[in-house]
Structure 1
C-alpha cells in the first residue's frame, strides 16, 4: 500500500504538468497557412501608398473580411471555414490593389488631359491675339507652332499613359506581344478535362480581359481554339470550336458586346510543341485570344 501511494505521489506532478501543457495548447490562437498569407498580403497593401490614396473604402472592406477570418480563428472554427473566410479576404485585398493601380493610372491620364486642355486654351487665346495684332503676325505664328507642338506632346503623353495602363493590365494575364498583336493564352488547365467549360480560374481570367475591353472600346478580340493530336480530327475540331465559343460566352456574360468577339477552331493544327509527351500535348490544348490594335484590326494568321 505504501508503495502504491509512493508511485502516485511521483506521478501526480507529471500529470499536473501534462494537464497544464494541454490547457496551454488549447488556449493558443488557431491559424492556417492561408490565413497567415492573407495577413501578410494585408500588411503589404496597407504599406502601398496607391492603395491608401485611391482605394481606402475597398481596403476597409478587405480589413473587415480579414477580421471575420481572424474571429473564426480565435473561436477555433474548422480549418475549412477559416480558409474560406481567409480566401475571401485575400481576394478582396487583391481586388483593392488592382482598383488602386487602375485609379492611379486614371488620375495620371486625367492630369495629362488637364494639361492638354490648358494648352489648347492658350492656343485659342493666341489666335484671338493674332486678329488684334496683325503687326505681330510672324511672332504669333511662331508661338502657335510652339503651342501646337505642346498639344501634340500632351496627346502623346496621354497615349503613352493609356498604353502603360493597358500593358500593366495585360501583364496580369501573361499576355505576349507577337507579329499578329497581343495574345493571351488560356491553357488546358482552365477548362474541365476534355470539356469546353471554363473552371472558376478560367472565368476569373476572362473577367479580367472583359474589364480591359470595357476600358478600351476601340479594341476587338479573335478567340482561336486548339487541341493536341489525341483523338479523331473531327472530335478535336469540335472541341476547339466549343472551347473558343465558351470563352466568347464568358466575355459576353462579363459585358463585352458579341460584335467585338470573333472565334475560330483549328483542332490539332498549329501546335506550339511536339505532341510527344503529356506535358507538350497539354501546351497544345489551349485557347489563344488575339487583341486587336487601337483601330480594331487583327493581322491574319
Structure 2
C-alpha cells in the first residue's frame, strides 16, 4: 500500500479540460498565423496554460486546475479567433488590392486601346494626307505637263506656220525655194542655213517623225545635170540638219530633177517655183508614201 501511494504521489494531476487546453494550444502553436497575428493574446494563452500546468504539477485541487485550464482554453480560443479575424481582414484587404489591380489593369488596357486607336487614327489621317498631297502633286504635275505640252504644241505649230508647212496625204510638207541656194549651186546660203535651223528645231521636237528631203529643178539644162543638182541640194539640206542635231537615220533624200513641176516652165517666175526642195515629215513615225 505504501508503494501504491508512493506511485500515486508521483503521477501528475490533470483534467479533461486541461487536456483539451493542451491540445488546443498545440494546434494554435502549430499554426504560425496565430502567433504572428495575435502575439499578445497567444502569449496570454501560453501563460494561462503554464499556470494550469503548474497547478496540476503541484497537485492542487481538480477544481482549481479546471478553472485555470478553462481560462487557458478561453485565452487560446481568443488568440485563435483574433488570428482568424485578422486573417479574414487581410484576405479582404488582399481581395480589395487584387480588385483594384484588376480595375487598374482594365483601365490601363482601355487606355492602351484608346491610345492605339488614336495612333491608328493619326496614322490613317497622316496616310490620307500623304495620299492627298501625292494626288495634288500628281494633279499639279499633270496640269503643268499638259500646260507644257500645250505650250510646246503651240510653239511647234507656230514654227510650222513660219515655215509655211502644208498638210498632205503624205504628211507635212515644207517647201524651200531655190533662193536658199546660190545659182546652180547646192550649198545653202546664209538665209538657207537660218531656215535649216528652224527646220531642225521642228524635227528635234518630233523625234519619231521620219523625214524625206526631195530636190527639184526647172526644165532648163540637161536632164542628167538637173537630176544630179536636185540630189545634191537635197543632200545639202540633209547634212545641214544632221549638223544641227537631227539623227541621220531619220533622214532620207531623193532627187527628181525636173520631174513633178508645180508650175509651167514658160517664164522665169514659174521656173523659179519649180526650183525647190520639199521636206516631208511623216506623222506618228509612219512611212512616207512614194510620189504618184
TM-score, length-normalised on structure 1? 0.47
Instruction: Give the greater-gyration-radius structure (CA).
Output: 2
